[in-house]
Structure formats: structure tokens, C-alpha cells
Amino acid sequence: MSVPHAFTSLRELEALVQLINSSFHEIKHACITQGKDFPFLNEPSTLESEAIVVSPEVVKAGSVITAAAYQLVAAVRPPTLTLFAQANTYFISSSLGVVIQAHVPEILREAGPKGLDIKGIAAPTGINADKLGHVLRLLATNHIFREVAPDVFANNRLSASLDTGKSVADILADPESKYDGTASAAAMIETMTTDGLLNAAHFSDVLFNPNLTNSGEPNETAFNLAFKTDLPYFEWLSKPEQAYKNKRFITGMHAGNRISAQGVILKGESTRFDWKSLPEDSVVVDVAGGVGTQTLTLAKEFSHLKYVVQDRASVIEDDAHKFWNAELPEVLSSGRVQLQAHDIFAPQPIRGAAVFIVRAIVHDWSDDYCVKFLSQLRAAATPSTQLIVIDNVIPYACADSQPSLDSDVPGAANVRPTAPAPLLPNFGAASLLTYLADIAMLSQLNGQERTIAQFARLFERSGWKLVRVHTDGFNYHDIKTIGVPA
């Protein structure tokens, strides 16, 4: 039975259902073509089983399904139910923090696919079993873990992704070393669901405080109110008493880089940065590059280049050296890779580099602070130096009616909202992580995610010119913006 033409809203619902259906068939076709099944939600996955999920055609179709499904739910559920559910999602965050700190993913991995009752899950840490059961049931209702029998839970595809791979005995023997030697996403998720949750509770306090609402200072944030400190977040994190949280944060960043670094640094949807064309022994500086995960990807691929990884002394002197000695020790001894402690706001010690890479750093700072450190890079640059900023690009949630940069900057048009109707132009929930990161940066650092136009203005203020935009994948994250000295 066809929907009457006058029933506009009903026709929109039908269009959303059709988008989901057609996108499913695209995923089905990809699976059949590649000879791979789609990973089952109720079973822990592997890197091999997840390979189909990150293939370009499946990512694109999956993003349409995600956007359409969330929009369909928003459309068909009574508004007050949706608003109450959204307003209470902080309990999902706090529950994730609980199960990570109670080592539930590791306990259930050792228990096996049949699962374990709540008393057995709670026993290793002494947490109240009945209360933990409530936590697990909330998460299972959101498809994180599964309840295989009353009060018996097992890992599934999502919860298993929180597993560090360590034995429960080893974790209990030394809880503060839980993330050492791992690349576990749980490290960053624990940070988000503990410290980040406290920041969020104070976000509105900052916005309505007349002394703080217009501030771009890194120590006048919701984080400062939550933790009662005058120190900026990264300075606070480096204090000896925050050693565990610092290690946890570094591991979380390392895990994120492992997932995306190779694709981000080597690939581009519109064009690729031509690393091979750089002259022999050209110097590539990874500014605030953590332990150097993305530089490792480059060093393995392009042996004709030299690299410098810069970050805080606490990162370089311990974690970075451990990382490289484990992964590729010969490049340190040969001098092809140097590890250098450096404050990004101090004069850049590497003069005349071929490339400066700045990944996931610009979003940590307000505009004035970005201009300060980008200007230091400009002062050390030659006319041929290139600046690669790899960060989120945040599109509008409406159609961009003034795409002024599209004709001026190659690749900029590729990050304009282009979702098929009736989806939100920015793909709605499929792009949600970028917008959540935007608020996280605001609450913790007074940073922000930026539009292409905002990147162009930052470059102009600091002596650079935006000349190219490279997209990586389908969603609006980890975009490379390329600048040259103005």
C-alpha cells in the first residue's frame, strides 16, 4: 500500500526505511564480493573479522544506516521519552567506567562464551554483586555485554573491545600497570567515563559564569572547576601524583593512533600527500606526536626521510623510548628518528624542516593559543616547508549555502555536508563523535573542533596559507589540511 502524497511526514519515515534497506544490500554485496561474513554482535570479534567493517564501501553504507536509524528513532518515539533517555545517558558513561575499573571484560573473557554469574564477576574486586548486575543489565540493554541467563553475563563484540588482553591475576597484582604494554581503547574510555564525566558536570557552570564564559585560557575550564586546580589539563596530568592517569591517557592516545594512524598519514580520499617526492634526508617533524605512532608508520614506509618526534619531556624520556626500542630500535641508533622533548609554545628548534605534522593538537587549544604555536612553526619554516594539520573538521548540521572555500581550496568541497535526503546533511548520528569531541575539548581544554573556514583563518593569522584538504574515509574526522608559508 503506497503512502498518500499528502502524508509528508509518513513519506519521510518511508524514505528513511528505504535508505536503511538499500544500504544493507550494499553491505551484503560487499560481504559476498569479499567472501567475508559480517561480525556477529553477540560474539567477541577479531581484527580479521572486523576487516570488512572498515572497508570503504561498508563504512559508507554503515554511516547511512546509522544516521537513518537514529533519525527514525527520533521521529517515531514520543519526544519526552527521547529527551528523558538522552538526559540520562550519563549513567551509561558511568557504568562503562565501573565495568572497566572492575575488569569485567577480562573476567568474562576468562570465563568463556557461556558467561559468569554476577557473584563470580564481582568477586575479584569485591564490588557489590547485585549492584554490578544492575550496571551490566543497563549496558547489555545498550548492546554492551549480553545477559545469557538471569544474572549471567558474557562478552559480546562491543564489550570485548574493552579487554586489555591481560590476565585477571596480573591486573589484580598490579592494577596501576593494567594498561602497560597494551594498546587498549579501554584506557581512553576509562578517562572519558571518569575524569571526562566530572568535567561535563561543570560545563554549564563555566558557560554561565561571566568571568569564564568568554575565556580561551586553558586553565579556566570545566576541568578546572571539577578538579579544583589552576593548572591546565596537560600540566596537571604531568604531576607525579597523576602518574596513573598520565599513563592511562598516553596509552589511550596510542591506541587511537594505532587504529587510525596508517590510514590518516598515508591515504587521502581526494589526493595523497606525496611523501615519496620529498628529497633524500628531508626532515619530517611530528609536533606533539606522543610516542610517535604515526611517525613509525612513515618510517617503515619511507626510509629516505629523517624524522623528529617531539612531545612533553615526560612522554619522550620514558614512553617514547620504550615504544621505539620495542618497535624499531635500529632507527634510533642510526639517528634516522630522533626523540626530542619540546614545548610547542617555545621557539621551534628544528629549522627548515620539509614537513611539520600536527595531529590532534589544534583542537586542544583556543584560537589565540593555536596562533602562538603555529607561529613558532612558521618562524622555523622555509618557503618550501609544508604544514600538515590532521584533525577533525566539523561541518554544519544544515546545508552549507555559502561554500566560499570550495572553489579556492582543492578538496574542501569533499567535507561539505552531502547526506542523502531526508538525513541531516552532516549524516547526523554517524558523525556524532566529532561533535562530542568538540564539547569535550571545550569543557576540558577550552579547545574546539573547527570548520574549514576556521582552519583557514587560523593559518592566515599565524603566517600560513591553506592550500589543500585531504579527506580520510567517509566521515568528518582525521582530515588533513595542508598549509604552506603565506
Residues classed as catalytic: 363
- Strand 337-341: give its sheet, edge to edge: 337-341, 306-311, 283-287, 355-359, 386-391, 479-485, 464-470
Which is nearest to 387 in space by CA: 260, 276, 284, 262? 284
Beta carbons of 190 and 139 less than 8 angstroms apart: no
Q: How far apart are CA 40 and CA 61, in angstroms?
A: 17
Three cell numbers written together for 140? 547489555
Q: How far apart are CA 393 and CA 238, in angstroms?
A: 29
Beta carbons of 477 and 388 less than 8 angstroms apart: no
Three cell numbers written together for 245? 592517569
Using DSSP's 3-state secondary structure scheme, residue 439 falls into helix
Other CB atoms within a 10 A radius of the CB of residue 239 amount to 13
Task: Give exposure, 408-424, as e/b (b: 16+ Cβ within 10 Å).
Answer: ebebbbbbbbebeebbb
Using DSSP's 3-state secondary structure scheme, residue 398 falls into coil
String of DSSP letters for 1-66: -PPPTT-HHHHHHHHHHHHHHHHHHHHHHHHHHHT-PPPPTTS---HHHHTTTTSHHHHHHHHHHH
The cell 541467563 sits on which residue? 149
Beta carbons of 113 and 42 less than 8 angstroms apart: no
The cell 587560523 sits on which residue? 458
DSSP 419: P
